[in-house]
């Protein structure tokens, strides 16, 4: 029997014990790091959900895009477009307005909406122009921010897109941003809160240089070439 064998066994056992200790330590570190990664994943998941919610609340839904385009561009809507975008509920021609009073007087219990609906069905409107460009309109105005809207309009070359782009380029960038912010915030406000916000902004927006420059270009010098201080 080799007299050094017990010593070698003891030495090897000591090496294995040391290695086991190192591996146990590494395993503990691995488990701790995996726990940290799991926490980080849950945090990122919650942040992603919050960001998605914020984007969803800021971005207009398809039903709201048409109204946003109408308001930002000052589109001169007729009855058909007003009904199509939801800015009007009924259409009664001016020469038939007396019929509204007569209908309500003939049947005191009839709801106003019912009377208007009956009269409206007898007054057909023309073609809905916005419906014809709804695909482009939804894509261009369905993005967050005025800069994004202008960028998408520049990607389109249809007559509607060109005319809309020219309209936006001709008005005050600051006013567009203000109007856009009002529309976005208005989705979470009551009518009263919207009116209060409109009043406060009306009182403050007449002071900046942009308003004065618009007045100069339109009413004083009448050169129709305002020089805006703010850009997109």
Domain chopping of the chain, boundaries: 1-58
Positive or negative torsion for Cα 133, 139, 141, 142: positive
C-beta of residue 232 within 8 angstroms of C-beta of residue 147 = yes
Q: Which tokens sit at 46?
A: 């919650």
Mean per-residue pLDDT over the chain, rounded? 78
C-beta of residue 193 within 8 angstroms of C-beta of residue 62 = no
Q: pTM of the predicted model, to two decimals?
A: 0.51
The phi and psi torsions of 87 (rounded to 5 degrees) equal -75, -10
pLDDT band at 62 (very low <50, low <70, confident <90, very high): very low
The pLDDT of residue 58 is above 60: no
């Amino acid at each position: 029997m080799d007299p050094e064998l017990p010593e070698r066994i003891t030495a090897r056992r000591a090496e294995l014990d040391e290695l086991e200790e190192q591996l146990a330590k590494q395993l503990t570190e691995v488990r701790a790091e995996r726990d940290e990664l799991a926490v980080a994943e849950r945090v990122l998941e919650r942040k992603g959900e919050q960001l998605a919610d914020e984007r969803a609340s800021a971005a207009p839904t398809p039903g709201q895009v048409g109204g946003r385009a109408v308001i930002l561009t000052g589109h001169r809507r007729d009855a058909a477009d007003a009904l199509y975008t939801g800015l009007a509920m009924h259409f009664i021609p001016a020469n038939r307005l007396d019929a509204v009073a007569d209908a309500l007087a003939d049947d005191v219990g009839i709801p106003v909406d019912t009377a208007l609906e009956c009269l409206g069905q007898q007054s057909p409107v023309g073609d809905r122009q916005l419906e014809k460009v709804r695909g482009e309109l939804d894509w261009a105005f369905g993005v967050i921010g005025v800069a994004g809207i202008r960028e998408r309009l520049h990607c389109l070359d249809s007559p509607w897109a060109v005319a809309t782009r020219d309209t936006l380029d001709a008005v005050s960038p600051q006013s567009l941003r203000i109007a856009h912010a009002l529309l976005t915030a208005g989705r979470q406000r009551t009518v009263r809160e919207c009116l209060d916000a409109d009043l406060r902004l009306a009182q403050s927006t007449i002071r900046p240089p942009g308003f004065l420059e618009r007045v100069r270009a339109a009413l004083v010098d009448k050169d129709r070439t305002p020089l805006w201080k703010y850009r997109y």
